[in-house]
Each structure stands twice: as structure tokens, then as C-alpha cells.
Structure 1
Amino acid sequence: MSYGATFPLWRQASGEVWRDYTRHAFVTELGDGTLPREAFLGYLVQDYLFLVHFARAWALAVTKADTIDEMRLCAATVHALIDEEMRLHVVTCAEAGIDEDMLARAEEKTANIAYTRYVLDAGHAGDFLDLLAALAPCVLGYGEIGARLLAEGRAAGTLDTNPYAAWITTYGGDEYQQVCTAVGNLIDTAVARRLGDAPDTTPRWTTLTQRFATATRLEVGFWDMGLTG
């Protein structure tokens, strides 16, 4: 998946770390259904806490935006995170006896703290582009992973029997893919507005690709956390 013109450039600039993230063992085991249930539930608990901070980061993006269109899309993303994406975590965990109050009171693990605070710091210390570069690996990486796992599961005829089909169809489905397309377009227009038609020739470009790569490395750490429980 491309999700615009800027994202593929950032992804390419991140090098092997992008593959480490999107082809992580945690992702592979999600796709073939062999991931231990305890590991998945532990990940969901941490990801619920992650999404709380992620929603705050997108809310911060509203204040960093320059235009109403930018503000509108960032605000819509906050809504999607709180009212839609987090629902998957609440429902799945509830089936395992973990209610929403228990989710909210769970202890954040170090990898979670490192990632979420990095994204928030990028927004507080930097500008709108710094924040988007730090946010992009999660939003668009999950879209890429979900689309691939959904296509592979359908092609193999294994999706219906995969215990993680709900996760795969959430991130690979049309609704989330539309979010990714919208975010990719937001990044493109924001970059063009601030850096012009040749952003990769500007002094800011290296800093933005480094932010993207750092956030991607922190995504790898998040998957590592998921596997180790």
C-alpha cells in the first residue's frame, strides 16, 4: 500500500527497520493464527493504553494544524480512535474477563511508555510535520499489515478459522483503509504546504525521516513486548 507520495519515501528511508516492524514474528503469528492467546490479550491491554495517548497526540495535532481541513481530519481521527478502534480492544478483552475498568487501570510497560511519550514529545517540541512523522508508522503501518494479512488469509482460505480474524479485518477492511488513505493525503498536503514541491531537498527532510524511523523502531519494540508478554 502506498497511502500517498510522502509515506513511501519515509518508509524507504527507514530501511530494514520497516521490514522488522511489518514482518515481525508477532505479525506473522497473528496472520497464521498461531500467536498464543495470552500474548494477544497482553498486547491488547497495552495497545488500549497506547491508544489513549495516541488519541491525545492526534488532539494535539488539531492545535498544531494550520488549516480547517487539517484540523477537521485530525479531529476525525481522534473520534475514530476513541469510538471505533478502541472498541475492538474492549470487546475482545471483555470476552476474556478483562473489563474496561481493568484496562484503564493496567500498568503501562516500558516499551509502551517509550513509544507514546516519544510521539507526544515530537508534537510538543516540534511542529505539525514532526508530529505527523511520528504518528505515521502506527496508522499507516497497521494499514499495510492489515491489508496484507487480510489478502493472504483470503487467498489461503484460512481467515474464517483464524482466531485473530477480527483484528485482521479491522485493520485490513475498507473503513480503516479509508482512514489510512485520508492520513496519507493529509501528510502529502501538509508537507507540500510547508516544504514545497520538492520536500526531500529541504533541510527539514532528514529530521522528518529520522522521526519516522525512530517511531518505527519503537513499533518493533512494541511487538517485542507483545511476544514476551
Structure 2
Amino acid sequence: MAWHDRAPDSFTATLWDGIGDVWAEIRAHPFLTGLKDGTLDHRAFVFYVIQDAHYLREYARALAVCGARANDVAGIRMFCEHAAGAIAVERELHESFFADFGLSEADVAATPMAPTNVAYTSYLLSAAYGGSYAEAVGAVLPCYWIYAEVGRELLAAGSPDSRYQRWIDTYGGEEFAEVVSQVLDAADAVGPSLSEADRAAAAHRFTTTSRYEWMFWEMGLRRETWPV
């Protein structure tokens, strides 16, 4: 089943239906429309890429915890492979951008995490360690799914900026779509066994991290810093 076309009665379709208003705001966000038309300030993009590199390190930790808590061998393997991929494959993309903009690894390491990044990653790890397995999956899922949806839409439009097109090609491509499909299938496999309370808890995690996705792009656009 395609990642963007889930069965209407599936657990993941229910989760997605619950963030319709958030998704509408994400699609219209100036950071993403700026990627599409090439008008996004390169300084905002560089800031975002550095913050995303920091984010992926913590996201990989959350995925590894999901793997440790998975109900079957397939889930353990999938999340552990994805944790490694978050560091290896996507970091390779970031490092190509760092080279384009003349940034060294030391420059990136010396840049502190922005407030929204600290809040988002802290929430992810809290959900992964402290919630149920379903809550952990609900928390990590928006980063997969929303990026795939964004990538698909932007790929159809393209970008006049070659750097932004490279980003779009990564998240709008078939390879990433297959990764997302795996996680959605895993979430749908868990859904039927959940009580109403457990489904609501997982949905709450999903909605919260979907909001953080919007906030992350807002953070990048504003090049967010600590106020004090």
C-alpha cells in the first residue's frame, strides 16, 4: 500500500485525519513555499540544515528505543536499521550542503541546538522511553510521514534552486517512500490491538510531534535563538 494512500479504516489514516489543520499550515509554511519557488533565504536553509543534523542524532536515539521495544523481530530490525540510516544516509545529504556553504564539521558542532529543537527532541525521547510502544511509534511517525508528503508535493512542482531541489529529491523519492511505507505498516499492525485509551494516547503523541514539525520549519525561517 502506498504511504500516501492508506486504507480509510486503518490506524494510520485515523492519525492523519486528526492533524488536518496542522497539515494545512505546514503545506502553506513560507519555509516550504520558499524551497519550491527558490526564494528561501540561504541563511535560513543553512540554519535549518545544521539544526536538522543535531535533530537527527536525537531522532536516531528515539528510533533505537522503538526498536528495543518493538513487539516482533521485524520491528526490531526495521527501527534499528532506520536509526543507523538517520545518521548515515541523511547526514551524508547534510554534509553535502555544509560543503556547498563552506561549513566545517567543527562549525556545525559549535552551533547550539535552538530552543524548538531542544523541546522537540526532548519530547521525542520522553515519549520513546516513558510512553507505551504505540506512543513511541506515534511520536516518531510524523517526521517520516510529513517529510514524505512534503517531498511528494514539492517534487511535483520542482525548485529553481539546485540545492533546494536536492533536498526535495531526497524526501520526494521512491527510496524514502519505501522507508515510510514500512513504518506505516508497522503502525497499522499495532493499531488493532490497542484499547481506546491507548489509541488516544498514541494519537496525542502523533499530533504533538506534527505540531513540532511545523515549529521546526518556523524555527529555521526565523533562525531562532534563545531569548535570554
Tell me the TM-score normalised to structure 1 length: 0.90
What letter matches 1:175 in structure 2? E
Match of 2:71 in 1: 66
Say if 2:128 is the partner of 1:134.
Answer: no
Say if 2:8 is the partner of 1:14.
Answer: no
Tell me the TM-score normalised to structure 2 length: 0.90
What is the correspondence of 1:144-159 to structure 2 with a 5 Å cutoff? Answer: 144-153=149-158, 159=159
Q: 1:22 to 1:133 in 2, by over 3 A?
A: farther
SS in structure 2 of the partner of residue 219 of structure 1: helix
SS in structure 2 of the partner of residue 34 of structure 1: coil
Is the 1:14–1:210 Cα contact (8 Å) retained in structure 2?
Answer: no
Match of 1:179 in 2: 179
Is the 1:22–1:141 Cα contact (8 Å) retained in structure 2?
Answer: no
Question: Structure 2 residue aligned with 1:123, among 111, 128, 135?
Answer: 128
Is the 2:134–2:198 Cα contact (8 Å) retained in structure 1?
Answer: no
SS in structure 2 of the partner of residue 164 of structure 1: helix
Looking at structure 1, the residues matched to 19 and 161 of structure 2 have their Cα atoms a distance apart, in angstroms, of: 35
Worse-matched range after superposition: 79-88 or 202-211: 202-211
Identity value in percent: 33
Deviation per CA, 1:147-172: give whole Å up to 9, x if none: 1100122xxxxx46544110000000
Runs of 4+ residues over 6 Å off in structure 1: none
Q: What displacement does 1:103 show? A: 1.8
Is the 1:3–1:140 Cα contact (8 Å) retained in structure 2?
Answer: no
Looking at structure 1, the residues matched to 46 and 161 of structure 2 have their Cα atoms a distance apart, in angstroms, of: 18
Match of 1:156 in 2: none
Looking at structure 2, the residues matched to 117 and 3 of structure 1 have their Cα atoms a distance apart, in angstroms, of: 29
What letter matches 1:51 in structure 2? L
Deviation per CA, 1:160-211: give whole Å up to 9, x if none: 654411000000011111111111111111223x32xxx6xx2222222111
Looking at structure 1, the residues matched to 6 and 109 of structure 2 have their Cα atoms a distance apart, in angstroms, of: 32
What is the correspondence of 1:73-222 to structure 2 with a 5 Å cutoff? Answer: 73-153=78-158, 159=159, 161-192=161-192, 194-195=193-194, 202-222=196-216
Looking at structure 2, the residues matched to 6 and 142 of structure 1 have their Cα atoms a distance apart, in angstroms, of: 19
Aligned length: 218
Gaps of 5+ in 2: 224-228
Q: What displacement does 1:102 show? A: 2.3
Worse-matched range after superposition: 41-50 or 90-99: 90-99
Gaps of 5+ in 1: 154-158
Match of 1:28 in 2: 33
Structural RMSD (CA): 1.6
Is the 1:21–1:216 Cα contact (8 Å) retained in structure 2?
Answer: no
Q: What displacement does 1:3 show? A: 5.4
